Structure 1
Amino acid sequence: MKNIFKILLSSLLFLFVFSCAGEDDNIVLNEVSAGKISADKSVLVLNNATPAVEAIKFSYTIPTFDINVVPQYFVEIGLKGTNFSKSQSVSTTKDPAISTLTHKAFNDLLIALGAKPGEQTDVEVRFKTSFSQNANYYSNILSLKVTPFVNLKNLYLVGDATEAGWNNNNNNTALFRDPGNVNKFYFRGYFTAGSFKLLEKLGDWHPQWGVNGSGVSASNPDGTNEPAVFSIPTAGYYSFEIDINAKTYSLTSSTAGAVYPTIGIIGSSTPDGWNSDQDMTASAFNPHVWKITNISLITGEAKFRANNDWGTNWGGSTPFSGVAALGGSNIPLNEAGNYDVYFNDLDGRYLFIKK
């Protein structure tokens, strides 16, 4: 009899627990007030000359529910006509209830969605409140017209005054891009007496950049309109600057400095984190320009340092390109991938070229 009673009691307890669990699973969340989103502009031409400048600001109101909940919030972006079947989401916050995108960040999102550089694209944006993969609440939909910019250009040295010689695919050294003006490039290093030009893509002779009167110009893709060479009268160190938008350049004598035995890149974005350096290489021709090729990097931070030690290290505040200072801040890397990374210990300039 006691055993029968225990079995009945256990069965009743099981039914009670199961019933409670079922009630919790079937809780209905009701949206009391809907989320809303607006933007400070509806037509936008993204500019590759100002990648880090704010391009657009989204403002939104947070929806309320009849139950106290803690969801996640996103600004969701898609191309018109896709019904957000393929979209890019930017995580955002409740306070402040605004989200901004730089020119480069917005451009990267649109290119990933399939937008064509240089063409005006119809874009839709909405605010998403998410509790789980299958429990999402959406705001009104914004309609924008956005023109993405053409991908960033790189410039490489070629010519008998350079280490690569007149070979268009011989580990040619890259120039360092300005972090604020992506059309401006710098190079400080050694040249032999002779001449050089600049290539936009390794392995291709055109377009190539050179002298045109007192300024510069580029050849056409078919090789026509080829410019003249930049001339180096005497072997030595020079500082070279070029602005391919303003069509200007300067070439002045410079100086060298102490040669470091080793320089490496280190940080949370590198393969071994902050534990050890990924060694870079420099040549006898240009012992101050360091390079590591096809390194796999994740989102995170990085610095450069000499002699596998923190006694001499460089850091900067801008991603992809910039000027690192001795003891400076960690360089942000906000896009994972394989990169060629350059660093010049004479002026602290660095460049990350995604493969």
Structure 2
Amino acid sequence: MKYAQYIMTVLVMVMVMCGCKKENYAELNKGNTVLALSASVNTIVLQEKNRDNDALILNWTSGSNKGTNASIRYTLQLAKQGTNFANPISLDMGLAVYSNKFSVRTLNDSLRNHFNATPGTVFMLETRIIAQTQVAGISADISPVAVISVTTYQPVTKTLYLIGDAAPNGWDNTKAVALTAIATEPGGFTWTGQLNIGDFKFLTTLGQWIPTYNKSATAADSLFYRTDFGQADDKFHISANGIYTLKVNLLSMKIVINQPVQPTTPPYSRLWIVGDATPNGWNISAPNEMRVDSGNMFVFNYNELLNAGEFKIPTATGNWGTDYYMPLANHPALSATDVQLVRGGSPDNKWQITTAGPYKIKLDLLNMKINIQPFTPYKQLWLVGDATPVGWNINSPAPMTADPTNPYLFTWQGAMTAGEFKIPTTTGNWGCDYFMPMVNHQPISSTLAKFIPSGNPDNKWQITVPGNYKVTLDQLHETIQIQKL
């Protein structure tokens, strides 16, 4: 009984398998199906604003495999009308595929690149499908031709660059700043960064002055496509330094320039100086650190005796490939104040010190400015305040003593009472410049001092324990030691 059941099971399985195979043959047998092709539209006007939409859908029948049960391979061809498909675009569609879609961008690029279709004019396109049965000796079938009228367009540039004295890299057309294309917005570009007081426009190609996108003469928020040097060269103007976001659309020819966005925190909390002009030289693992200004977190200072040589300002240590603050061009005049943030340090611009000596450097990250000044030490400094023996007598403050071997060091030693003091750079004038603490009443154990023009804010050191004190000020490095003897 078990043997009979086994035989029956095997017979059923064989019958099922044979039935499936017969059904597959029937599916493969296309009989005498006529090969035909149809288009979703007969007239198309392509527009770049719709570049990702479907422009044309082509469908075709399976055609006949002449009863061979063999598969059929399809080739879709597009050609210029009247050429008898002498120079077609041929697309291998593979097996069992009966449709193909062309996006606006794909169809436009294909007609322009392959057939040199003139943008803005009608191109008469012919298309057909070729069906080749995959058996030797059987000739291919070719469908009737479908004719489609297509108007192509000239695509806008895929690159756009910011140039001008308002821009980070100035008017050097080989270093203009690239905007970012907006993937979801045809013709859209955007950029966010520091703009300075000045003018700007847009290049389409690095190193080339034409064509450009300029300010339209008719509307402040509109673009003008400039293709000839004889055309107006109007530019957009920035009236205040700040962080801006620019958004342009080359299809609508519109620009949006936002109001300055003032960040609340600086992009970096620590910065360094590296180069053979500095004491630590080209040691990226241990460059000399700049000092954050107590009154403005965006301002960094560096005061030092510099050698004849170069320097730049890295944003990290131990890695030459970090980002840097650099001049707009290599070796600018020290009077030039513009600065840029260079990702990865290329181009490798540097400031150059040609005359060794004391310098005070001030970098402002908010306004993207740098001030590099040779420092001339004061020949006399004083102490004034009710903590000193002379009190608040600006006409006759207590003189400090210059160090005979170091023109930057001044000392004062004597009895001090509970009270305040600061260090004026002249006498007889409360509005003079001062050396003061970083903040009012900072602990006397702190060694940080600060040069404050005109004495505003009016910070002072405070003595809480009377006694004999020695005060030593380094006016170059802006440090102080207040020692109770």
Same fold (TM over 0.5): yes
In the other structure, the counterpart of 2:413 is none
For residues 56-111 of structure 1, the C-alpha deviation after alignment (integer angstroms, 9 at most, x for no partner) is 11111111211011232232111112222211133436666321110111112212
Q: How far off is 1:155 after superposition?
A: 2.3
Find the aligned partners of 2:322 and 2:81 in 1 and give their Cα distance. Answer: 47
In the other structure, the counterpart of 1:241 is 247
Aligned partner letter, 1:190: Q
Find the aligned partners of 1:118 and 1:60 in 2 and give their Cα distance. Answer: 30
For residues 102-149 of structure 1, the C-alpha deviation after alignment (integer angstroms, 9 at most, x for no partner) is 011111221232222222111110112235799533211101111121
Tell whether 2:236 aligns with 1:230: yes
Q: 1:67 to 1:207 in 2, by over 3 A?
A: same
In the other structure, the counterpart of 2:52 is 52
Pairwise mapping of residues 328-339 of structure 1 onto structure 2 (< 5 A)?
Answer: none
Find the aligned partners of 1:163 and 1:246 in 2 and give their Cα distance. Answer: 26
In the other structure, the counterpart of 1:269 is none
In the other structure, the counterpart of 1:128 is 130
Tell whether 2:163 aligns with 1:158: yes
Whether the 8 Å contact between 2:223 and 2:255 is mirrored in structure 1 is no
Find the aligned partners of 2:167 and 2:183 in 1 and give their Cα distance. Answer: 25
Q: How far off is 1:197 after superposition?
A: 0.6
For residues 303-348 of structure 1, the C-alpha deviation after alignment (integer angstroms, 9 at most, x for no partner) is xxxxxxxxxxxxxxxxxxxxxxxxxxxxxxxxxxxxxxxxxxxxxx
In the other structure, the counterpart of 1:194 is 198
Q: 1:157 to 1:136 in 2, by over 3 A?
A: farther
How many residue pairs get aligned? The number is 242
Q: 1:214 to 1:152 in 2, by over 3 A?
A: closer
For residues 278-299 of structure 1, the C-alpha deviation after alignment (integer angstroms, 9 at most, x for no partner) is xx997743456999xxxxxxxx
Runs of 5+ unmatched residues, structure 2: 1-28, 270-320, 326-339, 347-485
Q: 1:136 to 1:120 in 2, by over 3 A?
A: same
Point out the structure with max Rg over C-alpha.
2
Find the aligned partners of 1:247 and 1:147 in 2 and give their Cα distance. Answer: 21
Whether the 8 Å contact between 2:322 and 2:343 is mirrored in structure 1 is no
For residues 166-204 of structure 1, the C-alpha deviation after alignment (integer angstroms, 9 at most, x for no partner) is 233x13233223334323221122333322111233412
Q: 1:281 to 1:141 in 2, by over 3 A?
A: farther
In the other structure, the counterpart of 1:85 is 86
Whether the 8 Å contact between 1:218 and 1:227 is mirrored in structure 2 is no
Find the aligned partners of 2:106 and 2:211 in 1 and give their Cα distance. Answer: 29
In the other structure, the counterpart of 2:300 is none
Whether the 8 Å contact between 2:73 and 2:96 is mirrored in structure 1 is no
Using structure 2 for the length normalisation, give the TM-score: 0.44
SS at match of 1:41: coil
- Bigger shift: 77-86 or 141-150? 77-86
In the other structure, the counterpart of 1:99 is 100
Aligned partner letter, 1:84: F
Whether the 8 Å contact between 2:71 and 2:95 is mirrored in structure 1 is no
Whether the 8 Å contact between 1:48 and 1:103 is mirrored in structure 2 is yes
- Bigger shift: 131-140 or 225-234? 131-140
SS at match of 1:185: strand
Q: How far off is 1:30 after superposition?
A: 10
Percent identical across equivalent pairs? 20
In the other structure, the counterpart of 2:36 is 36
Runs of 5+ unmatched residues, structure 1: 1-28, 260-279, 292-355
* Corresponding residue to 1:221 among 227, 234, 240: 227
Tell whether 2:183 aligns with 1:176: no
Find the aligned partners of 1:282 and 1:61 in 2 and give their Cα distance. Answer: 60
